[in-house]
Amino acid sequence: MGKTISLYFMYISAILRSSMQYKLSFLLMIIGRFLIAFNSFLGIYFLFSGFTEIKGYTYGDILLCFSVIQMSFSLSECIASGFCAFSGIVKRGEFDRILLRPCSPILQVLGTRFELGRIGPMITAVIMLVVGIHNSHIQWTIGRVITLLLMLLGGTLLFSGLFMIGATICFFSIEESGSINILTYGAKEHGKYPFDIYGKGMMRFCTFVVPYTLVQYYPLMFLLGKSDNWFYALYPLGTVFFFYICYLFWRFGMRHYQSSGS
């Protein structure tokens, strides 16, 4: 296990050194992505300039909610971006070489790409989190701090699992299915608001199909004091089971993989 983690950090180190060869380009990329993500923050700010709350949620509540989803997504896209580029790996026949190496295929796929540019959106998410905490008037305790950390970790695991599903589809179709973007980038956009504002149908889908509510809605209710059910704080741990299902699907895809012949 220690050797595996060490190898992964060697991959990251190599990618970082490569990116630093063009420091100005790297800096401009981060600034550009920061400004794009910052527009969402401004959108929420101007929206609440005319409203005091949306379905019982204040400006600080919404920022806290969105910052968790934004940070989770950015962390996942940074760490698991190798899955996003998996279609090219399969088409070029590189996955055949990966299977021949005495190392975890998942680790090698993750090591092919590390999206350092996601630092920009993460900075925006941190700003929103700080402003959200300041405006939400939450009585912070150790339990609530742990809940927030579990939301971030669970969200990162959830989105990473979805990226893994997108990569697994390439085993059968070679080309990546754009439909998975609805569940990743689409969820990032819709996740700026608590999912209950979209109606009961969306709540059921986001609980029993793709469990976004485990890392957003339910633990958020505990954070904001809208529910006294302390076990809502543990709901993000349910994403471990979801990620395991995604992993089983990946294993199923690997067993049915046929070389692209490249």
**Does residue 93 form part of some domain?**
yes
Task: Report the b/e string of 78-92 with b at 16+ CB within 10 A.
Answer: bbbbbbbebbebbbe
Residue 156 lies in a domain: yes
Nearest to 68 by CA among 190, 191, 224: 191
What confidence tens digit (pLDDT) does each residue in 106-152 have? Answer: 888 887 877 777 888 889 999 999 998 888 888 889 999 999 999 99
Average pLDDT over residues 13-28: 76
- In a domain, residue 15? The reply is no
Over residues 155-195, the pLDDT tens digits come to 999 999 999 999 998 888 866 656 788 888 888 888 888 99
Whether 3 maps to a domain, the answer reads no
Structurally, how many domains does the chain consist of?
1
Residue 2 within any structural domain of the chain: no
> What is the tens place of the pLDDT at every residue in 59-108?
999 999 999 999 999 999 888 888 888 888 888 888 888 888 778 888 88
Give the pair of three-digit tokens for residue 217: 């809605």
Q: Which residue type does 52 have? A: T
Residue 199 structural domain: 24-255
Q: Which residues of 39-72 are buried (b: 16+ CB within 10 A; e: fewer)?
A: ebbeebeeebeeeeebeebbbbbbbbbbbbbbbb
pLDDT averaged over the chain?
A: 86
